[in-house]
Amino acid sequence: MPAPSGKPCVFVAPGVALLLAACGFSFEAPDALVDRRVLAMSAEPPELVTDGVLPATATVSALVADPAGNPAAEYAWSLCVPGIGGIGNVAAGGAIDPDTGRCVPGDATSVAAGAAPLDAMAAQIPLPPGLALAAGAVSGHNQAISLHVQTQLRVASPGGDLFAIKRIVVSPPVPAGRLANRNPRLRDLLLDGTPWDPAVPRPLAAGACEASDRENVADPRNPGRLASVCSHRIEPAFDPAEAEPFRVQTFDGQVEEHVERLTFNWFTDRGTLTQPSSAQPLPTGPQQTDPLATRWREPPGLTGLVRVWVVVRDGRGGESWQRREIDLH
């Protein structure tokens, strides 16, 4: 295992970067939660299209998971507004540390701090009026350049503070007819083909499945040996319209039409998943048999409450999530 370097480690996903206190890792799979983690950040709205007017605030929420079951933690929200090109900083506080990707502490604007339940990490983020004026200036030159507010969350953790970043995008109405991005939403999750109630843990009898649903996994009780366990199919259910069409203006002024491709990142605090991510199939090229789903494999010899999370992202900064529970007995 690498020794901690003393410098933060940055994990970047579309629209969000997660920064850990230091680079000391074990080699668990990224979907297996063994300690407190920030799994995702969501802004509502994720993008604002304007030629000079903005709302006063936007809401940013964090998905913080803790397999130890700790209900709350200390937190601090802050923001900065980095400059772009010849526009310069549009509000006090804009410097970004090139090594960490975070706002320079002396330049960051504090928004809120205190203690809160892990499932209620959210803040109203003020949107500087100067940002709307800058977007209007960009629009006046027919430039498809987006600005952003960088929001940061610090969450206290036994292993060292966790940091996460979310950008609220501010774009000019270029090309004509451009619509602001919105967060994709799941209608439901299906467990073994049936709707999975978000309010009630799904009861499952450990080891009770057909032979075709059994898999061999590493047995932590007997190092070097395998155990036969049941696996269960998990699939996201959503309206295909959640993958939005959008328009992009290229540097030479041409307009391109695109459609989002939704991706799904899966996490669990017990057992294992066959794949940590899945995605809508590409319109061309080789097709997977079951591209959207993953399978959750029971932990050998263990029972109790299991939590599963899925984060859906659109590749443009829009994201949302859902959590489900299993009562394995």
> Does the pLDDT at position 296 exceed 90?
yes
d(CA 87, CA 91): 11
For the domain 188-280+290-328, what is the CATH code?
2.60.40
Q: Which residue is associated with the tokens 């328009």?
A: 247
Average pLDDT, the chain: 85
DSSP 32: B
pLDDT at 186 over 70: yes
Nearest to residue 24, comparing CAs of 13, 39, 35? Answer: 35
Q: Give the pLDDT band of residue 34 (cuts 50, 70, 90).
A: confident
* Bridge-based pairing state of the strands 202-204 and 319-328: parallel
Question: What are 173-184's pLDDT values in tens digits?
Answer: 888 888 999 999
What span, in angstroms and rounded, lies between the C-alpha atoms of 226 and 223? Answer: 8
pLDDT tens per residue, range 231-242: 999 999 999 999
Return the higher-pLDDT residue of 97 and 196: 196
The predicted pLDDT at position 12 comes to 36
**Segment among 37-41, 92-96, 143-147 with least mean pLDDT:** 92-96
pLDDT one-digit tens code per residue, 48-106: 998 778 899 999 999 999 998 888 999 999 998 876 544 444 444 467 888 888 888 87
Q: Which residues contact 175 (CB under 8 A, 6 or more apart)?
A: 144, 247, 248, 249, 255
Distance of CA 94 to the CA centre of its chain: 24
Question: Is 190's pLDDT higher than 90?
Answer: yes
pLDDT at 140 over 50: yes
Report the C-alpha dihedral over residues 48, 49, 55, 60, rounded to 10 degrees. 0
Q: Which range, of 99-113, 138-152, 214-228, 264-278, averages the lowest pLDDT?
A: 138-152
pLDDT at 32: 84
Angstrom distance (rounded) from CA 41 to CA 167: 9
Q: Between 139 and 287, where is the model more confident?
A: 287
Q: 3-class secondary structure for 65-103?
A: ECCCCCCEEEEEEEEECCCCCCCCCCCCCCCECCCCCCE
Contact between residue 116 and residue 75 where contact means Cβ atoms under 8 Å apart: yes
46 has a pLDDT exceeding 70: yes
Rounded Cα gap, residues 274 and 288, in angstroms: 14
